[in-house]
Amino acid sequence: MKKIKVYTKTGDNGTTGLFSGQRVPKHHVRIKAYGTIDELNSWLGLIRSEKINPEQAEELIKIQHDLMYIGSELANEGEQSSAIGIETIDEDAVSLLENWIDRMTDELPPLKNFVIPGGHINVSNAHLARCVCRRAERFITELNTITETNPVIVFYINRLSDYLFTLARKFAFDYEIEEIKWTPRQKK
């Protein structure tokens, strides 16, 4: 079996290849979009590497797989991803995230204020992942102004940031970490 090298040297000129074979600058919004999805996937791996509830770990693995499909879709210019044999994200994946959010929300005290991130490594990492998810959403919606992308990707990423916020709150609740509420000072 022939070994595949990690380095190709084809990106040494500041470009990278898409699935279509087209080469684009490494700072292209498409690269920023799927690169941020990759970063988000790594954050979820970090959260999963901590001691967490097995059910949450399974959810995160499912999400990580979904992010691989999303990254593949975003790295494909031209043909539909499904036309070249890559599964695409669908509305069932969005519904699953919503079910998980609802389940966790039912276990949490009502949210009446914004929350200051922190208090436990898992809480902080979930908030960091949420922020990376929001950045991915900004890049994906920017990409969508240039070329049409699967609209379900935006739905999924938007819902995923809600999931990560709720997961951070659930970690705080499970670890008995008091959430620090943010209450804005009133102007004098």
Residue bearing the bigger pLDDT, 112 or 13: 112
CB-based contacts of 74: which residues, under 8 Å, 6+ apart? 30, 33, 34, 37, 140, 143, 149, 153
List the end-to-end C-alpha distance of the chain, in Å, as a whole number. Answer: 73
Please tell me the predicted confidence (pLDDT) of residue 143: 94
142 pLDDT band (50/70/90 cuts)? very high
Please tell me the predicted confidence (pLDDT) of residue 33: 92
Find the mean pLDDT for residues 68-88: 75
What is the C-alpha separation between 149 and 62, in angstroms, rounded? Answer: 22
Most confident segment among 3-12, 76-85, 168-177, 178-187: 168-177
Residue 154 has pLDDT above 80, yes or no: yes
Structural domains for the chain: 26-77+87-108+115-178 (1.20.1200.10)
* Mean model confidence pLDDT for the chain: 88
Residue 13 has pLDDT above 70, yes or no: no
Residue 52 has pLDDT above 90, yes or no: yes
Please tell me the predicted confidence (pLDDT) of residue 150: 92
133 pLDDT band (50/70/90 cuts)? very high
Please tell me the predicted confidence (pLDDT) of residue 20: 63
Sort 15 into a burial class: Cβ within 10 Å, 0-12 / 13-18 / 19+.
middle
Please tell me the predicted confidence (pLDDT) of residue 40: 98
Find the mean pLDDT for residues 56-61: 97
